[in-house]
Amino acid sequence: MTTQKMTIAKALNAGMRKAMEDDPKVVLMGEDVGKLGGVFRVTEHLQKDFGEHRVVDTPLAESGILGTAVGMALRGYRPVVEIQFDGFVYPAFDQIVSQVAKMHYRSLGKIRLPLVIRIPYGGGIGAVEHHSESNEAYFAHTAGLRVVTCATPEDAYWMMQQAVASDDPVVFYEPKRRYHERGFIELGEAAPYELHEAVVRREGTDVTLLTYGPMVKVSLAAAQAAELEDGPDVEVVDLRSLSPLDLDVITASVAKTGRCVVVNEAQTFLGMSSELAALVQQECFYHLEAPVLRVGGYNIPYPPSRHEEHFLPDLDRVLHAVDAALAY
């Protein structure tokens, strides 16, 4: 067993490399994923090491990328597709929702589409329009897709391999502003968690934060700040999987704390936070001491980046919601 310290970006790269070594049918496809190694360098060096047939620089057309990946999967390949930025997935929406999600169902289980669709998502990097969106709910809403996201290098490394190994299509959301966060990975061991398992990142007794992706770090910082101020004891649950949800871990935590705040970057209206709030009130009704509160993006288009520090939930907004939950 060797322990390595690496960034989320490097861990994703290492996870893909391992998957490609393990299975010659794994093929990477996307815009600029080859020589350049992707605009975030997540696929760096992979074309050099595995060749142009396995790391394919595609034409600049997202529906074309997804549609040809479907065809490759029908021929027995396991394509890992990169969408360059969250806001560029919409041209592929039709292929993902109409074809990728439904193929196994409409073929009565005869056709499997083991696709991974990688999407760097979320804001906080001062980007121009269409480069900072959190559109995970569109895909989590669609039956037939699995949707996951990582918050640590360890998860990036293992969840990528698990997503590639899955016989179902997996939409893999990568928190782009956390690409360069470092952490330790134990290589060569079995994955520490199942792909669709939620993980309690910090134990607490007073209130549960349900969060994922880029907001895990913010939520942990909020919990830490509360502790330093002798405030409430905050439990932080990293959902990791958005479809399916790990209802057991979620309900066990809220049943214990009796209070729940959902924290994500996405607009709250009809988003993941809406579904989580509905589920928690349904499953934990008699344990709840307060309504389920939500902290998320405001229900406006993603604003110009000079506004984003106020659009995106931060430590103070999370603590504000925690205080509100405890005030009931």
Partner 1 sequence: MSDDDVAQVPSSAPATHEPPATDITDGGPDMVQFLDADGQRVEPGTVSEPYAAYLDDVDDEALRSLYRDLVLVRRVDSEGFALQRQGELGLWPSLLGQEAAQVGAGRAMRTQDYAFPGYREHGVAWCKGVDPLNLLGMFRGVNHGGWDSAEHNFHLYTIVIGNQMLHATGYAMGVQRDGDVGTGDPERDTAVMAFTGDGGTAQGDYNEALVFAAVAQAPVVFFVQNNHWAISEPNDRQFVIPPYQRARGFGFPGVRVDGNDVLATYAVTRAALERARSGQGPTLIEAFTYRMGAHTTSDDPTKYRIAAEVDAWRAKDPVDRLRKHLVAQGLVDDQWLADLDAEADTLADRIRRECQQMPDPPHEEMFEHVYAEPHPLVEREAAAFAAYMAGFDED
Active-site annotation, residues: 131
Task: Find the angle CA(315)-CA(303)-CA(156) to the nearest 5 degrees.
Answer: 55
Q: Amino acid identity, residue 27?
A: V
Residue 325 identity (one-letter amino acid): A
Tell me the Cα Rg of the chain: 19
Number of Cβ within a 10 Å radius of residue 209: 31
d(C-alpha 173, C-alpha 165), whole Å: 16
Supply the DSSP symbol for 60. S
* CB-based contact 12:42 (threshold 8 Å): yes
The piece of 53-61, 202-210, 226-234, 320-328 that touches partner 1 (CB under 8 A) is 53-61
Using rule CB under 8 A, residue 167 touches partner 1? yes
Pairing of strands 2-7, 182-187: antiparallel
146 lines the binding site for partner 1 (CB under 8 A): yes
Q: Which of 36, 125, 128, 143 binds partner 1 (CB under 8 A)?
A: 143
Among 7, 13, 68, 149, binds partner 1 (CB under 8 A): 68
191 contributes a contact to partner 1 by CB under 8 A:
no
* CA separation, residue 239 to residues 89, 197, 212, 302 (Å): 23, 7, 5, 23
Q: At residue 248, what is the residue type?
A: D
Task: Verify binding: residue 188, partner 1, rule CB under 8 A.
Answer: no
Per CB under 8 A, 107 contacts partner 1: yes
Residue 66 interacts with partner 1 (CB under 8 A)? yes
C-alpha closest to that of 60 among 20, 29, 100, 26 = 29
Residue closest to 183 by CA, chosen among 146, 158, 209:
158
Site for partner 1 in 75-104 (CB under 8 A): 75-77, 91, 94-95, 98-99, 102, 104
Helix (H, G, I), strand (E, B) or coil at 62: helix
* Cα gap 313→315, rounded to integer Å: 7
Please pick, from the candidates 13, 58, 132, 251, the single residue that binds partner 1 as defined by CB under 8 A.
58
| Nearer to partner 1 among residue 81 and residue 207 (C-beta) | 81
Contact flag: residue 64 with partner 1 (CB under 8 A): yes
Q: How far apart are CB 236 and partner 1 at their closest, in Å? A: 22
Out of 21, 22, 36, 71, point to the residue binding partner 1 (CB under 8 A): 71
Contacts with partner 1 in 20-49 (CB under 8 A)? 27
Q: Which is nearer to partner 1, 107 or 299 (CB)?
A: 107
Whether 6 contacts 18, CB under 8 Å:
no
The only residue of 35, 106, 130, 310 in contact with partner 1, by rule CB under 8 A: 106
Which of 1, 109, 285, 300: binder of partner 1 (CB under 8 A)?
A: 109
- Does 291 engage in binding with partner 1 (CB under 8 A)? no
Q: Exactly one of 55, 69, 209, 292 binds partner 1 (CB under 8 A); which one? A: 69
Among 74, 128, 270, 278, binds partner 1 (CB under 8 A): 74
β pairing state of 2-7 and 26-30: unpaired
- Which residues, including other chains, have CB under 8 Å from residue 98's CB and lie 6 or more apart? none
Task: Tell whether residue 231 is a contact of partner 1 (CB under 8 A).
Answer: no
Q: Which of 3, 48, 111, 192 binds partner 1 (CB under 8 A)?
A: 111
DSSP states of 81-115: EE-SSGGG-GGGHHIIIIIITTHHHHTTTS-----
Q: Is 269 in the site for partner 1 (CB under 8 A)?
A: no
Please, what is the minimum distance in Å from the beta carbon of residue 232 to partner 1?
A: 31
Name the site residues for partner 1 (rule: CB under 8 A). Answer: 27, 53, 58-59, 61, 63-64, 66-77, 91, 94-95, 98-99, 102, 104-112, 143-144, 146, 166-168, 243-245, 247
